Homo-oligomer: A and B are copies of this chain.
Amino acid sequence: MNTPAEKNHNPSPEHNHEKCVSKAIGTAEHLCVVRGVQLTPIRHQVLELIWENHKAVKAYELLDRIKPVMDAAKPATIYRALDFLIEQGLIHRIESLNAFVGCNCSGHQHEQLLLICKQCNEVEERPATEVMQALSLEFDQAGFVVHSKALEIHGICVKCIGLNDKQN
Q: Are A138 and B118 in contact (CB under 8 A)?
A: no
| A116-134 at interface with B (beta carbon < 8 Å) | 117-118, 124, 126, 128, 130-131, 133-134
Q: Are B156 and A145 in contact (CB under 8 A)?
A: yes
Q: Are A155 and B151 in contact (CB under 8 A)?
A: no
**A151 to chain B: which residues have CB within 8 Å?**
150-152
- Please count how many residues in chain A sit with their CB below 8 Å of the partner chain's CB atoms: 35
Nearest Cβ on chain B to A159's Cβ, whole angstroms: 9
**A133 to chain B: which residues have CB within 8 Å?**
134
Digitize A130-158: 1 where CB-to-B-CB distance is under 8 Å, 0 elsewhere: 11011101110011111111111111111
A161 within 8 A of B: yes
Q: Are B118 and A143 in contact (CB under 8 A)?
A: no
Docked Cα-Cα span, A157 to B161, in Å, equals: 40
A40 within 8 A of B: no
Tallying the copies of this chain within the complex gives: 2
Q: Are B130 and A134 in contact (CB under 8 A)?
A: yes
A38 within 8 A of B: no
Nearest Cβ on chain B to A131's Cβ, whole angstroms: 4
Docked Cα-Cα span, A126 to B155, in Å, equals: 22
Q: Closest B residue to A115 by CB, please name it.
A: B144
A101 within 8 A of B: no
**A146 to chain B: which residues have CB within 8 Å?**
153-155
Q: Are A154 and B143 in contact (CB under 8 A)?
A: no
A96 within 8 A of B: yes
